[in-house]
Amino acid sequence: MSELSADSRPPLKRSPALSEERVRERLAKRYARERRFRWYCRGAVAVAVLFLVVLFGDILRKGWGAFLAAEVRLEVLFDPAVLDPQGTARNGQIDPQTLAYADFSALWRQPLLARFPAAGDDRAVRRQLFALMSDGAGYELRSMVLDDPSLIGSRRTLWLPADDEVNLLLKGHVPRQVAEEQRRLSDHQLAWLDDLEASGDLHLGFNVPFFTNGDSREPELAGILGATLGSLFTMVITLALCFPLGVATAVYMEEFAPRNRWTDLIEVNINNLAAVPSIVFGLLGLAVFLNFFGLPRSAPLVGGLVLSLMTLPTIIISGRVAIKTVPPSIREAAYGLGATPLQVIQHHVLPLAMPGILTGTIIGMARALGETAPLLMIGMVAFIVDVPGGPLDPATALPVQVYLWADSPERAFVEKTSGAIIVLLGFLILMNGAAVWLRRRSEHTW
């Protein structure tokens, strides 16, 4: 009888105990790998959260001072002899043109010199005393008089802004222990400031000019109002252009466009445009909107056009995804009741897909709000003091303002930069929070 071949040999019988033991070992190893994987994931999340905490903590540490400003309390006499030295007043009214060019700095210099009369004997020491106050003190007094001419001849106790070096001293950024030649404030100035602080005439108050002023070369006068309005005008133009075009394109691509190679080519190009670096859109805006069409440089109108090109692919893609999530049964039911394709889109598909479309739109707008590179290419990096009154006026944006302040050599601009970043992050968090809230509130389940 021939021997059995190797393939026809009967399988070896394994011991049941041995098989169960190997199964347990394999299960134990698999469970151990799963536990290690979970700990790896938790560790990755913890590291990411740690980096975010360090980043935001550093920004808050450097930027909290931007919301506080040093102020000096002085009793100011709106002396007509100072405001109208030529005596041109008629019927008790000073000509506004004369007021505009009056020496308003003399109004706060007189009470400050009266507070420290010993400084008046030496011109250099007197100059150090006046250096404690900001140039914005005179501008603030001029604005008060121009708004209310009845102040002329009266005496008011006012809190006026101090110099940026005084701000840094009160916030602990200027060491007192170093030698006099190694710090910006002299011993005389430190003594005067200590006297003012001891009497309650020097304090840190809420920095209102940070939110009401435009940009300035003086750190204590610089504000974010101009950049905020520039970003607002830019975002309004961006939303007005890209939202209707994006939604219409998404509806056409999903509901009406035939499936052929041309629509496939358009779809591929839209997806590719969403991944194009933002500076490429800035170069396109520079070549087309500025050089070819001759639109004004540094205007929010051009910034809105450029950011619209950048945001449009994101809205189209999110709109198509939202439209795809609408069940076909809803369309079929509407068609069964005699609705036209336009009525189906208008009354059924779009209302159900709108939460997803709006979520994608808000996320795209949040990305556009934080963009800097395309705005730099179209000239919105210029130093602009005036607050823009419309989309055609020269303006800058919040991210560009952060870039400008970060490049400034003054130490006081460091906290201004971080303060502007805090405001920008606040807007971004609000926009992303609105997207999440809108998604949860309008979410549909089928």
| Domain-embedded: residue 7 | no
Please state the φ and ψ torsions of residue 55, each to the nearest 5 degrees: -65, -55
The residue ranking higher by pLDDT, 92 or 42, is: 42
Q: How many domains does the chain have?
A: 2
| Boundary of a domain, candidates 207, 242, 258 | 207
Residue 103 has which token pair?
């020496």
Task: Please determine, for residue 191, whether its predicted confidence score (pLDDT) is greater than 80.
Answer: yes
Task: Please determine, for residue 160, whether its predicted confidence score (pLDDT) is greater than 90.
Answer: yes
Task: Please determine, for residue 2, whether its predicted confidence score (pLDDT) is greater than 50.
Answer: no
In angstroms, rounded to a whole number, what is the distance separating the alpha carbons of residues 215 and 226? 7
The stretch 77-88 carries a mean pLDDT of 78
The stretch 55-62 carries a mean pLDDT of 89
Task: Please determine, for residue 311, whether its predicted confidence score (pLDDT) is greater than 90.
Answer: yes
| Domain-embedded: residue 8 | no
Residue 206 DSSP SS3: strand
- Residue 222: left if φ>0, alpha if ψ -120 to 50, beta else—which one? beta
The stretch 201-205 carries a mean pLDDT of 92
180 and 173 Cβ atoms separated by less than 8 Å: no
User: How far out from the chain centre does Cα 441 lie?
Assistant: 26
| Domain-embedded: residue 165 | yes
Residue 381: give its domain's CATH number. 1.10.3720.10
70 bridge partner residues: 204
Give every strand in the sheet of 202-206, ordered side by side: 155-161, 68-77, 202-206
What's the pLDDT tens digit per position in 239-285? Answer: 999 999 999 999 999 988 888 889 889 889 998 888 888 899 999 99
| Same domain assignment for residues 202 and 229 | no
Least confident span in 166-170, 297-301, 436-440? 436-440
Q: Give the pLDDT score at 398.
A: 92
74 bridge partner residues: 158
**Distances in Å between the alpha carbon of 386 and those of 196, 233, 312, 433?**
34, 15, 31, 32
Q: What is the dihedral of CA 68, 72, 75, 79, to 10 degrees?
A: -90
In angstroms, rounded to a whole number, what is the distance separating the alpha carbons of residues 187 and 249? 69
DSSP 288-321: IIIIIS-PPTT-HHHHHHHHHHHHHHHHHHHHHH
Structural domain span for residue 421:
225-441
Judging by beta carbons within 10 Å of its beta carbon (0-12, 13-18, 19+), is residue 264 exposed, middle or buried? exposed
| Same domain assignment for residues 234 and 382 | yes
| Boundary of a domain, candidates 145, 180, 207 | 207
Confidence band of 303 (pLDDT split at 50, 70, 90): very high
Task: Please determine, for residue 8, whether its predicted confidence score (pLDDT) is greater than 70.
Answer: no
| Same domain assignment for residues 200 and 232 | no
The stretch 332-358 carries a mean pLDDT of 89
What's the pLDDT tens digit per position in 161-179? Answer: 999 999 988 988 888 888 8
Sign of torsion over alpha carbons 177, 181, 183, 188: positive
Q: Give the pLDDT score at 13.
A: 53
Model confidence, pTM: 0.83
| Same domain assignment for residues 156 and 272 | no
The 3 state secondary structure assigned to 323-339 is HHCCCHHHHHHHHHCCC
| Same domain assignment for residues 189 and 268 | no
Confidence band of 87 (pLDDT split at 50, 70, 90): low
Percent of the chain, pLDDT > 90? 40
In angstroms, rounded to a whole number, what is the distance separating the alpha carbons of residues 105 and 112? 11
| Same domain assignment for residues 194 and 255 | no
